């Protein structure tokens, strides 16, 4: 399956980061919400995933909602993969980018397939 990954790192003032993954038949919007600790280190607080058709129609989840909030183990795995996408080595092609991107895409696809009606 072909995909195009758009990573928006965001600026230091915002607590929201928007990432997009475009597939052949749908697109996935990933919204990361951060909180700031006392030392001003952003920490991932909430992760929301929305899936749209290529015509920008929202696709419903299996329980009728329009978005999925990620919690627990998947949030920890996502945070680790997201941190790898923000490293100096990734940005400057010092490591194999395809492997990291593939792990990221596989996690998002697992969440999408288990929560959305894609038919």
What digits encode the pLDDT tens for the residues 53-81? 999 999 999 999 999 999 889 999 999 99
Judged against a pLDDT cut of 70, whether residue 12 lies above it is answered with no
Domains in the chain, number: 1
**C-alpha–C-alpha distance, residues 77 and 72, integer Å:** 9
Question: What is the structure's pLDDT at 11?
Answer: 64
- The domain in which residue 88 lies consists of 3-115
Query: Residue 42: which of 22, 61, 75, 17 has the closest Cα?
Result: 17
């Amino acid at each position: 399956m072909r995909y195009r990954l758009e990573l928006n790192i965001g600026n230091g003032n915002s607590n929201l980061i928007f990432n997009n993954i475009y597939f052949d038949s749908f697109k996935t919007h990933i919204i990361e919400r951060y909180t700031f600790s006392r030392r001003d280190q952003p920490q991932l607080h909430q992760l929301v995933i929305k899936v749209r058709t290529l015509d920008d129609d929202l696709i419903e989840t299996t329980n009728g909602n329009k978005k999925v909030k990620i919690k627990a183990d998947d949030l920890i795995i996502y945070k680790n993969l997201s941190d790898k996408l923000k490293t100096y080595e990734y940005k400057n092609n010092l490591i194999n980018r395809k492997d990291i991107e593939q792990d990221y895409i596989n996690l998002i696809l697992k969440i999408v397939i288990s929560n959305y009606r894609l038919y």
